Structure 1
């Protein structure tokens, strides 16, 4: 009996610890501000573009905390409360946020928030890679029944949508336009300000796009080996060839034979660098690099900022510029 009570006490203590750790986990940035247009975004690139276009006319709240990788993240109860009170909810779509359909169903019944899929209009890339995290999004089509083409990612069992749209400046331009139109829709009073700031952002994105085209097309090599299959849009738009250790999710496990084949290809093609990213483990990238006798380098999918990057004032543009410089170095 004493042993039974002891086990029960330990179980209760373990449960208390779990709930305490959950309650103290990373929180989203910001809270609802009365009298402002409150915009909730799901992760960093959308948040940055929204703040640039919205300026002082909005209060932007980003759900994904700094230093957290978005693929396996799920919202907290406070995120539902904040979004219920907001005027606009901006999410990437294309299957990135598999939790969105249930999240929207969980909002307060009196909520007037407008939900917008920011990747709408991007020419989506289909892949037979399945990361097991519902990137194919079996539920998101319910929110866009008038757009069958955009939601073709949910129509088949063998193909899944690559959700990493923002990694290409060409797609980012479309996403910024969608954000601008959404802000004007919920707050027409500040339409001119949104339009002016959007035009400035679009010019910067177009300049970045032109720079990627000019710099990458003149390089002798075009094959890149990355840890996480996050660069298909970048590869398509700037004529690169992506080979990934893992699938759409950075924690998907590769098969041993895949690593052997990749190492062989790296040696045969005389590839000098294996790319990894900061928000996930670089263990497999370093393992492959050691096997192939090459070096590693960062290629950032810009899914979020690390704490250090936030302190340094990094943003989408500085990270993409670093990506370009690293690509130039790797593809010489």
Structure 2
């Protein structure tokens, strides 16, 4: 009898350990099986901060102009295999997802539309919504909170882990915001020239104005626009043109006519191996140079 009792106790212990192991494996598998698609590289990085073990993919390939990206049938089919999709909303970058978001949701895909949580502002040059809110550290903080809340609904058993990851990067983004506020608080200039219209949110947050050569990188500036900018540069003693990678040719044309130096700026439009926080610090240095900050 005593031996039977020991065997039964051992059986219960082993069964209990097996259940714990199985549950932990299911939880790990749940996170490993989370597949996320984002439309832009910044959102891919933000997602990886919160859910580092998930499968995270960016739809717009490296080197492509996100403002003119046309998804292939294969790209669209990928979305139906996702656990979650993160995109901006009614913008020229990814409004095509608006047309299929209801069907995706009906298939069980978690659709995270950032515009449903953060109001977008219009471009100054068109009636389109400006998508570039990730270049504002405060909005970046709001975006990672939206991602955290969404994935906690998908995998509530990992809620505490996602919360901790969020708090870690919330702190880093708040530090970045403080660096921008301090770094751009004492500048002799309040105007910058950019290749296209990507600094509206950043300028509104930190108190400077941006004037663009073209509305979108693929456009060609008009003769009238170039003359207006040449006069503006001369009248305001502007020495620099801020350019993203895809706008270098446009920047060069104005630079050659005015002598203004081109400063590189990372807009995170497409996939790369560059870290968001480091690149945003480098972007701050560019803004400080262009605005002649002390």
Q: Structures share a fold, TM > 0.5? A: yes
SS, match of residue 40 in structure 1: strand
| Among 279, 282, 292, the residue aligned to 1:319 | 279
| Among 50, 69, 74, the residue aligned to 1:73 | 69
SS, match of residue 67 in structure 1: coil
Q: CA deviation at 1:284?
A: 1.8
* More off after superposition, 79-88 vs 226-235: 79-88
The structure with the largest helix share of the pair is 2
Using the alignment, how far apart are the partners of 1:235 and 1:66 within structure 2?
Answer: 26
Q: CA deviation at 1:110?
A: 6.6
Which has more radius of gyration? 2
Change in 2 beyond 3 A, CA 1:39/1:171: same
SS, match of residue 78 in structure 2: helix
* Deviations 1:275-294 (CA, angstroms, capped at 9, x unpaired): 1111x141221111121122
Question: Gaps (5+ residues) in structure 2?
Answer: 1-29
Counterpart position of 2:5:
none
**Within-5 A mapping of 1:224-263:** 224-247=192-215, 249-263=216-230
* Deviations 1:232-284 (CA, angstroms, capped at 9, x unpaired): 0000000011000011x221333211110101110110111011111x14122
Using the alignment, how far apart are the partners of 1:316 and 1:162 within structure 2?
Answer: 20
* Deviations 1:48-92 (CA, angstroms, capped at 9, x unpaired): 000110122x22122122232311112222333322122211102
| Among 269, 286, 291, the residue aligned to 2:252 | 286
Using the alignment, how far apart are the partners of 2:144 and 2:138 within structure 1?
Answer: 10
- Tell me, yes or no, if structure 1 residue 114 matches structure 2 residue 110: yes
- Tell me, yes or no, if structure 1 residue 163 matches structure 2 residue 123: no
**Within-5 A mapping of 1:1-332:** 36-56=33-53, 58-95=54-91, 96-104=93-101, 111-130=107-126, 159-247=127-215, 249-278=216-245, 280-306=246-272, 310=273, 314-332=274-292
SS, match of residue 85 in structure 1: coil
What TM-score comes out, normalization by structure 2 length? 0.83
Q: Please tell me whether the aligned partners of residues 193 and 210 of structure 2 are also in contact (alpha carbons under 8 angstroms).
A: yes
Q: Please tell me whether the aligned partners of residues 46 and 92 of structure 1 are also in contact (alpha carbons under 8 angstroms).
A: no
Length, aligned pairs only: 262
SS, match of residue 262 in structure 2: strand
Change in 2 beyond 3 A, CA 1:180/1:220: same
Change in 2 beyond 3 A, CA 1:281/1:242: closer
Q: Please tell me whether the aligned partners of residues 54 and 194 of structure 1 are also in contact (alpha carbons under 8 angstroms).
A: yes
SS, match of residue 196 in structure 1: helix
Using the alignment, how far apart are the partners of 2:204 and 2:124 within structure 1?
Answer: 16
Using the alignment, how far apart are the partners of 1:237 and 1:110 within structure 2?
Answer: 38
